[in-house]
Amino acid sequence: MVGRPFLPKALWTQLLWVTTVSWAWALLVIERLLEIHAAPLRTALIALGTVAIAASASWAAWRFSRSWLRYLPWLLLVGVAARQWQRHALRQEYERGPIRLDRPAESLWRPVTTTDIGVRYYALGSNRISVGSIRIVLLTDLHFTLALPHAYYEHVFELVAAQHADLILLAGDYVSEPENFELMTRLLARHWPARMGVFAVLGNHDLWTDSARIRDALSAGGVTLVEGRCAHLPASIGKVALCGTEAPWGPELSSALDPDELNLVLSHTPDNIYRLAQQGATLVFSGHTHGGQIRIPGFGPVVVPSRFGGLFDQGHFLVDGTDLFVSAGVGADMPALRIYCQPELLVVDLVRP
């Protein structure tokens, strides 16, 4: 006697439609709609789209049950899988490893890594500097919040000081909620231990909250903002430009960079890498991805807020001749929790051959 199926065929079909179309919609939200600056429009599009997906999936499963369109969910699955495979191949082509990792040991039995901060070290040669070396420390996605212990942030700044940086670069997202502005102001009002200066751009959360207040806090701490412009280090150090872009949420670099200079570019999101490579960026420093914030051991990040998915989630990549450094960041947001994803500083040593 043949038993009855666990679920009727019609219900399986509906589940397939709901799962596949919802997945495709989620990818669209993550990779495109989150770039929209206007919060009401962004929220409305996401909400309306979600409701439309929920309302139409069952109808489509019934309506197209005898049409060639019944194969649409499978076509979507094949398309998404093909794109993910292409990105995996690109990552293998682009990715470069660190010279050293200094961080707490990872354990499968200790998934919460919210404050397990570590350091990734990289080294590159450059004949455009006049000094023996320049040490750059990248600090990004602080997301100051009372949900994390104050001692953690103090430890972060102690770790920054221990690197003896020449340059400190801040790649945005200092605060997400207005109630954390006071904490942010206190923590940013400090002496930054960088011999050649501290440079910063804002991130999407900064531009979505109170960007003027965040700029004031950074300026009060002696930080130079490079929003859509370039600053130059003293000629005695070499031909070094420090530039910043906040695209797609804020000011962008709209012109080509001087090919005779060492162009260090701050971009909150790594999604600008291809355009910046065309403009002549030598090194690009980014955050925004949080390394996925929640990762599955052996698989990688669950969600990455990037139009390229997990391609540039964290690490060092050589893209069209431009070195891209993406930090998993220091803080965490929505929620203030990291799973199998350690916070980090990036340290890059530029060495004159």
pLDDT tens sequence across 101-141: 999 998 999 999 999 999 999 999 999 999 999 999 999 99
- Residue 271, φ and ψ in degrees, nearest 5: -65, -15
Tell me the pLDDT tens digit for each residue of 182-191.
999 999 988 8
Per-residue pLDDT at 53 exceeds 50: yes
Per-residue pLDDT at 198 exceeds 70: yes
Whether 256 contacts 268, CB under 8 Å: no
Give the per-residue pLDDT at 42.
72
Give the per-residue pLDDT at 65.
65
Give the per-residue pLDDT at 38.
65
Angle between helices 211-220 and 181-188 (to 10 degrees): 20
Per-residue pLDDT at 12 exceeds 70: no
> Among 74-88, 113-127, 301-315, where is mean pLDDT lowest?
74-88
Record the tokens describing residue 199, joined without a space.
């440079």
Per-residue pLDDT at 4 exceeds 60: no
Nearest to 39, CA basis, from 285, 208, 194:
208
> Among 84-88, 117-121, 225-229, where is mean pLDDT lowest?
84-88
Question: In the structure, what pLDDT confidence band is assigned to residue 13 with cuts at 50, 70 and 90?
Answer: low
Give the per-residue pLDDT at 64.
66
Nearest to 170, CA basis, from 320, 33, 329, 332:
329
Distance CA 148, CA 317 (A): 31
Give the per-residue pLDDT at 7.
47
Tell me the pLDDT tens digit for each residue of 237-291.
999 999 999 999 999 998 889 999 999 999 999 999 999 999 999 999 999 999 9
Distance CA 34, CA 38 (A): 10
Of 50 and 63, the one with more pLDDT: 50
Tell me the pLDDT tens digit for each residue of 15-51.
777 777 777 777 776 777 777 766 677 777 777 777 7
Per-residue pLDDT at 217 exceeds 70: yes
Question: Can you list the alpha helix ranges (DSSP code H) found in 180-258?
Answer: 181-188, 204-208, 211-220
Amino acid of residue 219: S
Tell me the pLDDT tens digit for each residue of 133-182.
999 999 999 999 999 999 999 999 999 999 999 999 999 999 989 899 99
CB within 8 Å of 252: residues ≥ 6 apart = 228, 245, 246, 272
The DSSP secondary-structure symbol of 235 reads T
Of 68 and 93, the one with more pLDDT: 93
At 96, which helix (H) or strand (E)? strand 95-96
SS3 121: strand
Whether 257 contacts 149, CB under 8 Å: no
At 95, which helix (H) or strand (E)? strand 95-96
Distances (CA, A) of 209 to 15, 222, 336: 38, 22, 18
